Amino acid sequence: MGASQVDPGRVAELKGREDATFVERRPRTMELWKSGQAVMPNGVPMSWLRTSYDHPPLFIESATGSRLRDVDGHEYADFNIADMSMFTGYGPAPVVAAVSRQVAMGSQYLLPTEDSIWVAGELARRYGLPKWQFTLAATSANTEVIRIARSITGREKVLFFEGKYHGHFDDVLVELDDGRLVPEEAGLPHDVTARTLIVPFNDLDALERALAGCEVAVVITEPAPTNNVGLLMPDDSFHAGLREVTRRTGTLLAYDETHTQVVGPGGLTRMWALASDFVTVGKSIAAGIPLGAYGMTEEVAAVLQRPGGRDDDTPQVAVGGTLFGNPLSMAAARAAMSEVLTEEAYAHSQRLGSRLADGIEGIVASAGLDWTTHRFWPRSGLSFCPVLPRTASEAKATLDVPLRRLMRVYLANRGVWEAIIGAGPTCSVAATDEDVDAYVDALGALIAELV
């Protein structure tokens, strides 16, 4: 048996069967994929879409509410929600109306609109930081936070926690390999590791040692890492210790809520009353229309103020972009936050997340498997171990990749679109009890075949 207590031979047998079924039932998808390979690397618009899943890429025709429909006519209850970016569900009427209206009036001006004031004010209300700026993605928001932090502190280095994901930019694409910092992917500067530090999550002693030299400009972390390693919950004293040591060493602190914002209005920052210098968000706040944003304290925001306007010769921080803060994104975000991502909608998704966790937990218990079920408000999932891991190293040691790949294709063949490896199924605000039933039934069928 493997570490997950499941026979690897049985996993491989089922995987072969399900892969063949996936291809056989999707002839139009396979045709499009072949055509795509003539004009796009890997046949897809972002080359890594080919490596996100073990099976061939799925080509989508449309989506409504909580359901996807592929070009072969198959419908899926969607628990990946475009890697959290469609937490609003697909095609929410208020956003469709707002975006349609704004497109007719102009999708870009390179000038501010009234909606930007409303959106910034609402983010301030939800997350508790007074000043906000906009980008097109959370990756860019995190990039600008680092630049502002470097400008304020005069320091170069940035610290992340092992198992992180905060976007696709140079400073964050560094990982630990046998205790050494190495680039995660090709094409990065040869000295990319010189500016980055990584320590284990929940290890305040390691954090203290890393910050002791007062060389780090900013620590960026999810309040609870959720992206690459499943779910890591903070120890009771972790966030208080993190804030204390960053303040004591003159290090700024940023919480990346891009994935954790689905737990409720204001994300974990509001739920856990967390104090920080920055908060970054993105993905679902504009219902999938490109938008990233970052909030900051008044003290931090002062570095961006230009009292003299264009003639102000104060050194300017390298932030901004032509399409940042565009009126289309602002209109979408205002509609999403005012009419879709409401207190009632979050409560609905939390109820379904709890129901999903109950179903998963029941299946695991009935099968006699010593696995742990995540409970993270609208999200659930599995760790193939008896106790939820505290660090990325612990999580990686329990990760059964062949089993995860089987789960994805098995569920897809039964009308359920599973989350990517390292994440977990999430109930959007458009999800239904029927969606949860579909997930639990498909997972239950798989576990029955495995054990």
Q: Residues 189-236: pLDDT tens digits?
A: 989 999 999 999 999 999 999 999 999 999 999 999 998 888 999 999
Q: How confident is the model at residue 70 (pLDDT cuts 50, 70, 90)?
A: very high
Over range 30-40, report the average pLDDT.
97
Asked if residue 64 lies in contact with residue 91, where contact means CB atoms within 8 angstroms, the answer is: yes
Note the pTM of the prediction, 2 decimals: 0.97
Q: How many CB atoms lie within 10 A of CB 151?
A: 17
Q: Looking at this protein, which amino acid is placed at residue 182?
A: V
Answer whether residue 338 shows pLDDT above 90: yes
The percentage of residues in the chain with a pLDDT greater than 90, rounded to a whole number, is 92
Domains delineated in the chain: 8-87+343-450 (3.90.1150.10), 93-340 (3.40.640.10)
Dihedral angle sign, alpha carbons of residues 175, 180, 185, 191? positive
Inter-axis angle of helices 8-24 and 401-412, nearest 10: 30
Tell me the HSE value of 396 on the side-chain side, using a 13 A CA sphere: 10
How far apart CA 133 and CA 124 sit, in angstroms, is 11
Least confident of 148-157, 244-253, 282-291, 413-422: 413-422
- Mean of the per-residue pLDDT values for the chain? 96
Q: How long a stretch of residues is the chain?
A: 451
Asked if residue 40 lies in contact with residue 57, where contact means CB atoms within 8 angstroms, the answer is: no
Secondary structure E strands in 378-439: 379-383, 416-417
Q: Looking at this protein, which amino acid is placed at residue 448?
A: A
The percentage of residues in the chain with a pLDDT greater than 70, rounded to a whole number, is 99
How far apart CA 215 and CA 237 sit, in angstroms, is 24
Q: How confident is the model at residue 291 (pLDDT cuts 50, 70, 90)?
A: very high
Over range 314-333, report the average pLDDT.
96
Between 399 and 206, name the one with better pLDDT: 206
How confident is the model at residue 200, as a pLDDT? 97
How confident is the model at residue 414, as a pLDDT? 98
Answer whether residue 2 shows pLDDT above 70: no
Q: Residue 9, class by beta-carbon neighbours within 10 Å (0-12 exposed, 13-18 middle, 19+ buried)?
A: exposed
Long-range contacts of 171-175 (CB under 8 A, 24+ apart): 171/146, 171/195, 171/196, 172/142, 172/196, 172/220, 174/198
How confident is the model at residue 1, as a pLDDT? 64
Of 72, 132, 134, which Cα lies nearest the Cα of 413?
72
How confident is the model at residue 260, as a pLDDT? 96
Q: Could you give the residue ranges of the DSSP H alpha helices within 184-306?
A: 204-211, 238-248, 267-271, 298-301
Answer whether residue 422 shows pLDDT above 80: no
How confident is the model at residue 5, as a pLDDT? 87
